[in-house]
Chain A
């Protein structure tokens, strides 16, 4: 087997050429896809097409790793965790959970490359069959954002007028899916079975939602603000993806309408041309392709606020495993999490004169990380790690610790962060039926 990484760029070119040729024979698959959804008869054909294409790619690449589209398979460390690595527009090969609508996870090694997650590796999570929205409705020249409802002055903004009228601001913030790490829940729960890669930290640039709302003058009786993106269901009975926020939260100056991510326009699959950025809050609120803001006088009860995306009404958002919560509330801020990124379970380490450096990341819902501690003896003693540069209270915080491994055994590294409110992570995992907010102390077993 040739080392795939060294040949990556060459392979991409070869694979893309092959894919181009395959496209020309896959017309029937295209047609099936166009009509299939409405006629409900495309699945078998598409499946066959995919298999044929994979065989073709396999043959064409003569066993080279990391093809441009879909050939590599990764195994996430839970039952039924095999997933293909697939390359989407503007993306490097990502862990594909689902094809339509796309759910793509960041390979965990990316978090060791840099504190800011590159755009081409940032995770993707959609809900509705009409996702991502087609290019025609995302044209930045014709795109419009509507502001209406319980306000004095309804407004329609183009991207250009938003940029001209309001102050441009930036924030470095983590976006994390509510169900990040759901695949590790025990007992298992239904939903997107993701590993730890449905999170990312980026520099977001845009205008304050508060400024835009104030320009319309929110009326005193207003209760919530609703956000709708251009992704949509294909049949009328399916609820559109609409999210709600209390007015006070919407007026928080940290909440942005962003068009830029890490110095580039938002990638298509991350909300181009405009998305909501709600630092410290789960990704479900970060509405992509945002085109409508509506201020309302009552609590919104649409599907995506109720029953979806709700957690037990309990300070730790948990119930006894296998039970149903009595009362639920909408999911809100991140709890505290920390990970080691320098080493993964199964890695072989060696004793050396100065020891080895462990490194990782920590983040929380916006108070900022106060400390990160590490235990290598099963939680008896905890050593404080050194914190890296502070990129802001919503960002990944780097930690490092120099450590001399023991002479023998299979050491397990435990990492636990505490935020500035004193909140930390549990040693035993908490459970809830939707598989949200996992934040147990992560353990990485190494070998000598």
Chain B
């Protein structure tokens, strides 16, 4: 192992030590979202660590609807990379997520969510 890789591994392990100590009961949740403390992959030089962070919402775009209804299952770029959909198109996408896919989106919240998607990522 090269010195640089070793240093990198040590620094990352330390970070994870702190993370695990601070999270305590959060350990189970942690394994579901990110891999645990990075270990050297026996088959490649890269440690098995995913890039940190997720794409940001544009300046001024309200985060609440995405946080509440979408972020449980996917990052914001799932929305931002879509073509500009019509109201019917976004309504169908939300309905697919809610009714067929099983996303826990209360029916009462659907109109507001669709309006948000049309306003920021759609076309009227």
- Measuring CB to CB, which residues of chain A are less than 8 angstroms from any residue of chain B? 13, 16-17, 20, 22-24, 26-27, 29-31, 33-38, 40-44, 46-51, 53, 69-70, 79-80, 83-84, 86-90, 96-102, 128-130, 132, 134-136, 188-190, 192-193, 232-235, 237-239, 264-265, 267-268, 303, 307
Contact = CB atoms under 8 A, between A and B. Distances in A.
A69 B51 contact: yes
A239 B96 CA distance: 13
A323 B90 CA distance: 16
Interface in B21-54: 22-23, 26, 29-36, 39, 41, 43-44, 46-54
Contacts of A303: 100-102
B110 interface: no
Contacts of A35: 23, 26, 29
Interface string B66-96: 1110011111111001111100010011001
Q: Which 9 A-B pairs have the closest CB atoms?
A: A47-B56, A188-B83, A50-B53, A237-B102, A100-B75, A99-B75, A134-B35, A44-B63, A89-B46
A80 B54 contact: no
Contacts of A87: 51
A70 to B, nearest CB: 7
Contacts of B115: none
Contacts of B53: 26, 29, 46, 49-50, 53, 99
A49 B52 contact: yes
B112 interface: no
A27 B57 CA distance: 20
B29 A27 contact: no
Given A29-B53, A47-B57, A79 B74 contact: no
Given A37-B32, A53-B52, A98-B81, 15 more contacts: A24-B11, A29-B52, A37-B29, A43-B54, A44-B57, A47-B63, A79-B84, A98-B74, A136-B35, A234-B33, A235-B104, A239-B101, A268-B41, A303-B100, A303-B102
Contacts of B63: 43-44, 47
A97 B83 contact: no
A190 B82 CA distance: 6
Interface of B: 4, 7-8, 11-12, 15, 18-19, 22-23, 26, 29-36, 39, 41, 43-44, 46-57, 63, 66-68, 71-78, 81-85, 89, 92-93, 96, 100-104
A104 B92 CA distance: 25
28 contacts: A23-B12, A23-B15, A24-B11, A27-B19, A31-B23, A33-B52, A38-B72, A44-B67, A46-B54, A89-B50, A96-B77, A99-B53, A99-B54, A99-B55, A99-B75, A128-B73, A129-B72, A136-B35, A234-B73, A235-B73, A235-B102, A235-B104, A237-B103, A238-B101, A239-B102, A267-B44, A268-B41, A307-B96
Nearest to B62: A44
Given A38-B29, A100-B54, A135-B36, A238 B102 contact: yes
